[in-house]
Structure formats: C-alpha cells, structure tokens
Amino acid sequence: MNTMTYNGYHARIEFDAENEVFFGKIAGISDVIGFQGDSVAEIKKAFHEAVDDYLETCRKIGKESQRAYSGKIMFRVAPDVHRRAALAAELSGKSLNQWAEEVLQEAADHFAEARISA
C-alpha cells in the first residue's frame, strides 16, 4: 500500500497504468479531495497543495477542517464473530468495548509498523 502523510493528513496513492498517472484522495475526512501527478515528485506536491488548499478553503468559509474522530465506531459483524469476540472479552475480564479497542489498537499499530518498514 502506498500512502503519504502531510500536516496530519493521510492519503492513499494509486497508479493508473492506462493513463500513466498517479492519483490519490485524502483519507479520513468526509470531504472528497483528490489530486494527481505524473511522477512521485508531482503527486507529493499535489498532495501537499490539496491539503493546504483544503485548510485555506475551510478557513475562508468559516468551516472547521476535519481531523479528529469521535471515538465512536458502529459496524456490523457476523453473529458468530460477535459471539466469539464477546466470549474472548469476557474470558479476558474486559468489556467487549475494552477488548475491541485493544484489538483495533494492535491492528492499527501493526499496520503503521508495516508501512514504516516497507
């Protein structure tokens, strides 16, 4: 996975072989902000410009830029996964929320470590 980070924002970068262009989208915000470039240097510059433009536009229109998450996650899983997760939490002496937070934290840390070492 190819990602970039700038000024606290993250983006996933992909390559379109047919059009021979790199493209990306700022991740983690509900506003859709895309950018592209013909080289690594250009996609990096375009990403930085997209973030800077986003922040400047938010400032100009009086909108708070999105960055932080609320800490609330709601998602559906298969009933058997729910049952096994609840059992694992109970057997470890934790609430399902505490257990899930630890598991998600470990997965997120593992992802970040894998990205850094790549």
Residues 44, 86 within the same domain: no
The answer to whether residue 69 sits within a structural domain is: no
Residues 40, 87 within the same domain: no
The answer to whether residue 20 sits within a structural domain is: yes
More confident residue, 9 or 112: 9
> How many angstroms separate the CA atoms of 111 and 94, rounded?
24
Residues 83, 57 within the same domain: no
Q: Give yes or no for a contact between 53 and 61, defined as CB atoms under 8 angstroms apart.
A: no
Contacts of 37 (CB under 8 A, 6+ apart): 21, 22, 43, 44, 45, 46
More confident residue, 70 or 111: 111
* Residue 6: domain span: 2-61
The answer to whether residue 74 sits within a structural domain is: no
Q: Residue type at 52?
A: D
pLDDT in tens, 57-86: 999 999 989 876 777 888 999 999 999 999
Number of Cβ atoms within 10 Å of the Cβ of 61: 7
Domain count, the chain: 2
Three-state secondary structure call for residue 75: coil
The predicted model scores a pTM of 0.64
